[in-house]
Structure formats: C-alpha cells, structure tokens
Amino acid sequence: MGRLGAKIKNEAWLLSTFFRLLKRLMPNTMFGRSLLIVVLPIILLQVLVTYIFYERHWDNVARRLAQGVAGEVAAVISLTDRFPGPEARASILTIARDQMRLAISFEENGQLNETEIQREHSGFLDRQLARALQESLPARNFTLTSNEKLESVVIRLQLPNDVLQIVVRDKRLFSSTTYIFVMWMIAISLALLGIAVIFLRNQMRPIKQLASAAEKFGRGQEVEDFKPSGALEIRSASKAFHDMKHRILRQITQRTEMLAGVSHDLRTPLTRMKLQLAMMPEDQSRENLQSDVEDMRNMVEGYLAFAKGQEAETVQEVNVTRLIESVVENARRQGAQITLTATPEIRTSIRANSVKRCLTNLVENARRHATEIAIAVYPTDSQIVISIDDNGPGIPLEKRQDVFKPFHRLDTSRNSETGGSGLGMTIARDVVHGHGGQIALGRSSMGGLHIELTFPY
C-alpha cells in the first residue's frame, strides 16, 4: 500500500509539473492565445492528413509503380530466355527502350557480388521495388542501386551466363503528385494563417482601445468617446464603458454643484456668528465659543476640499521633483526639519495642484507629530515612488486603515488640538487613487510612520 501511495504521489507530482510547464509556455496575451487556437488545429490536421496520405495513397501508388516496373523486367527476361541470339536480343533492347522506357544492357559472363545481393535496402522506393522484383522473379538474384537525388535506379539481375543491367528513371517509380499535394497543403495553411492573423489583429484593436480608455479614466484623465467596433461582445463592453463614464461624470458634476450651494449656505451663518462674537464682551465663554466656530469653519473648509475632488483641474505634464521641492520649502519655512532625496527631473502627466495638496497634507501631518522627516522620490520602470518617513509616534497597525476614513482622528497623537480636521489622509488617498496610484502605510526605519505613494509613470 505504501509503494502504491508513493507511486500515485510521484505521478501526481509529474502531472502537476507538466501542467505548470505548459502554463508557463502558453502565451500571455489574448492575441497569442487566440492565434494558438487557430494554429494548433491546422498543424494537427496537416500531420493527420500527411500521415494518412503517406500510409495509404503514396504507399499504394509506389507499390503499383514498382510492380509495373518489375513486371516489365520479368517480361524482358522471359523474352530473352525464349528468343536467344544477338539479333533477337537487339530487338528486345529496342522494344524495352522505346515501349517501356527502360535502358537495358548485358554484361557478358558477369557475376553479381554476394555482399551486394544480401545488402538491405534502406530507401522507401528501393524496398518497394525489391519486394516487387522478389514477387515477379523469385528465383533470380539482383541488386538495386539508387543515387542520392533519386534520379534513377539501377537494377542488376543475374542470368545463367550474363548479368542484365536495367536503368529505371525516377518518373517510372515516383509520383510528383506527392510533392504537389504537400506544397498545396502548406500554401493553403499559410494563407489561412495570414487571414487569421489579420482578423485577430482587427479584433484585438478595439479591446486595446477599450483597455487604454479605462486606464486613462481610472487615472482621472479626460477620455473622449470613441466609436465601438469589433465583435458584438466588444461593442457591448465599449458601450457599457461609455455609459459608466457618463454616469460617473454626471454624479461628480452634481456633487460639485451641490457642494457649491452648501459652501455658500454654511459660510454665511458662520460669518454672522463671527460678527456677533466680535461684539460680545471679552470673557471665557466668548473664547470657548469662538474656538468652536473656528473648528466648525476648518471642518467645513476641509470637507469641501475633500468632496470637491480633482474634476475641475486639467491634467498636464509637470516636473514632479520640482513640485515636491516646493512642498518641502514651504514646510521648512514653518520650522520642519526635512531631508529630500530625489532624482533631478521626473516628468509625468498629473494634476499638479491636487498632488501638491496631497503631499502638503502628508508633510503637515508628519511635521505636527515628528521632529525629523525624510522624503525620497525615485522612478521605476512603470511607477513614480514617493516615500515619507518620520520619527514620530507612528500609527498602530490595527488603526492604519481607519485613518483614511473622513473626519477620523486618533485620540492620542492626532486629535483636533493639533489643528487637523481628520481629512488630511482621506484627501491624500482620494488624490492618489484619482491618478490610478496607491498609498500604503508602514513602520518607518526612523521609528515613526512610513508612507509610500506610487503614481503611474
């Protein structure tokens, strides 16, 4: 039972290894896989048809041609035995040359080599002709010799006193329809393959167009409507993408218009409250109420900045290094200790003001809770990576996802007394995701919080 289990386990491992290797060899693109689906049946069909043709048709044709030649050779030998003499032999040679297209000559008093008689025939035509001669002339010894190009076959037959030499041209033994058939089959297969490649390329084009539009829209870039093309399913997907894009843009527009009205309605009573507070006598109650009004104003402004998003700003190519340098300089003027490590020039298309606001929020959060900040900026093959590290208290692992919630503030290190409204991380994530990037939090080597932003390059 143990041997059986080990054998089954070994076979299962070999099978899984084979499938992993097959998966690794499979094309990754849809075009490659579709082309493979078209090419494999054509190749299998060619192999099957070629096998059947060679095993059936060509074998039968070659055997019948060899039997015809062997029968003619037997007829020549029979005529030679029945009509001896030089004159009769000359007539027989003329008939063989003119009627049978056989070049015949006699080697008087000749003997065949025993080694050549016993030699095995390696070629397909040689084997067929040897078998036919053995059937037609069972009592005769003979040898077969063919040149490399199969232009002719030389047959030497042992007669009682002489050796009969017969030269048979390739046209008597070989049918040219074999090569014609193979060439036509290959030509038709190549033509079908070319048509399939053109067809598949035309089908892949709308898929790539849809993927490119979805990627741009995911990054927050403007995407113009394009005409759906390709197969019915691809057209349906393109139409669904257009409908989704218009619905999202319509919702963003409605949100912006609604927030414009909310901004006006909220700022007006706040302004009246500030005027009333200015006319109130100086006391502790006035200071407390004035602090609450200021907190309300900060929260309203922060919420409007978060909810308004990035739709009003256009995408343009900017130098990311320069943009980050300006953020760092502003933070240094406010007393922050920041070190910046950056590639001299990194250019990409982004919403500059939104990204600057995102970085400003993150640096401001770090400045409030740390004494040292380190920023690094570098490009990879497909992304721009911005890392921000500080030596502050950091954020516990179980609370790192909560800080992205609107108006969420940590009770100890990040509270309202530090000046935050709980929207800095939320706005930062909204900006990064709007560009098709990612934001991640971790533990910094400096002891505090590590923030890593990635933007498509």
| Band of pLDDT at residue 185, cut at 50, 70 and 90 | confident
Query: CATH for 313-456?
Result: 3.30.565.10
95 vs 98: CA distance, rounded Å: 5
Above pLDDT 70, what percent of the chain?
80
Contact between 344 and 418 under an 8 Å Cβ cutoff? The reply is: no
Which has the closest alpha carbon to 372: 453, 444, 454? Answer: 444
pLDDT of residue 64: 78
- Give yes or no for residue 118 having a pLDDT over 70: no
| Biggest distance spanned by C-alpha atoms of the chain | 155
Mean pLDDT of 195-202: 84
Flag the least confident range among 181-190, 334-343, 408-417.
Answer: 408-417
- Long-range contact pairs involving 75-78 (C-beta distance under 8 Å, separation at least 24): 76/100, 76/102, 76/104, 76/164, 76/166, 77/137, 77/140, 77/157, 77/159, 77/164
Angle in degrees, CA 107, 109, 112, rounded to 5 = 75
And the tokens for 452?
């890593």
pLDDT of residue 363: 92
Q: What's the pLDDT tens digit per position in 224-239?
A: 888 888 888 888 988 9
Q: What's the pLDDT tens digit per position in 343-391?
A: 888 998 888 888 988 898 899 888 888 899 999 999 988 899 999 999 9
Q: Report the Cα 212 to chain-centroid distance in Å.
A: 15
pLDDT of residue 340: 92
- Long-range contact pairs involving 322-330 (C-beta distance under 8 Å, separation at least 24): 323/352, 323/355, 323/356, 323/359, 324/359, 324/375, 324/377, 324/386, 326/356, 327/356, 327/359, 327/360, 327/363, 328/363, 328/375, 330/360
Instruction: Name the more confident of 194 and 2.
Output: 194
Q: What's the pLDDT tens digit per position in 282-315?
A: 777 777 777 777 777 766 776 666 555 545 567 7
- Give yes or no for residue 180 having a pLDDT over 60: yes
The helix (run of H) or strand (run of E) holding residue 181 is helix 177-218
Domain segments of the chain as ranges? 25-215, 225-308, 313-456
Same fold, 225-308 and 313-456: no
Contact between 325 and 292 under an 8 Å Cβ cutoff? The reply is: no
The CB-side HSE value for 344 (13 A sphere, CA atoms) comes to 0
Q: Is 455 exposed, middle or buried (0-12, 13-18, 19+ CB in 10 A)?
A: buried
Q: What's the pLDDT tens digit per position in 124-135?
A: 677 777 788 878
| Band of pLDDT at residue 416, cut at 50, 70 and 90 | very low
Contact between 168 and 102 under an 8 Å Cβ cutoff? The reply is: yes
pLDDT of residue 288: 74
Residue 57 φ/ψ region, left for φ over 0, alpha for ψ in the -120 to 50 degree band, beta for the rest: alpha
227 vs 442: CA distance, rounded Å: 45
pLDDT of residue 413: 43
pLDDT of residue 339: 92
Within 10 Å of residue 73's Cβ, how many Cβ atoms? 26
- Give yes or no for residue 37 having a pLDDT over 60: yes
DSSP code, position 382: S
Share the mean pLDDT of the chain: 79
The helix (run of H) or strand (run of E) holding residue 124 is helix 124-136
Q: What's the pLDDT tens digit per position in 252-265?
A: 777 767 766 776 67
Mean pLDDT of 63-84: 81
pLDDT of residue 60: 73
- Give yes or no for residue 428 having a pLDDT over 50: yes
449 vs 390: CA distance, rounded Å: 6
Q: Is 124 exposed, middle or buried (0-12, 13-18, 19+ CB in 10 A)?
A: middle
Q: What's the pLDDT tens digit per position in 386-413?
A: 999 999 888 888 888 888 877 666 654 4
Instruction: Name the more confident of 453 and 5.
Output: 453
Mean pLDDT of 129-144: 80
pLDDT of residue 140: 79
pLDDT of residue 40: 81
Residue 426 φ/ψ region, left for φ over 0, alpha for ψ in the -120 to 50 degree band, beta for the rest: alpha
Question: What CATH number does domain 225-308 carry, 3.30.43.10, 3.30.70.100, 1.10.287.130, 1.10.260.40?
Answer: 1.10.287.130
36 vs 33: CA distance, rounded Å: 5
| Band of pLDDT at residue 173, cut at 50, 70 and 90 | low
Mean pLDDT of 54-64: 70
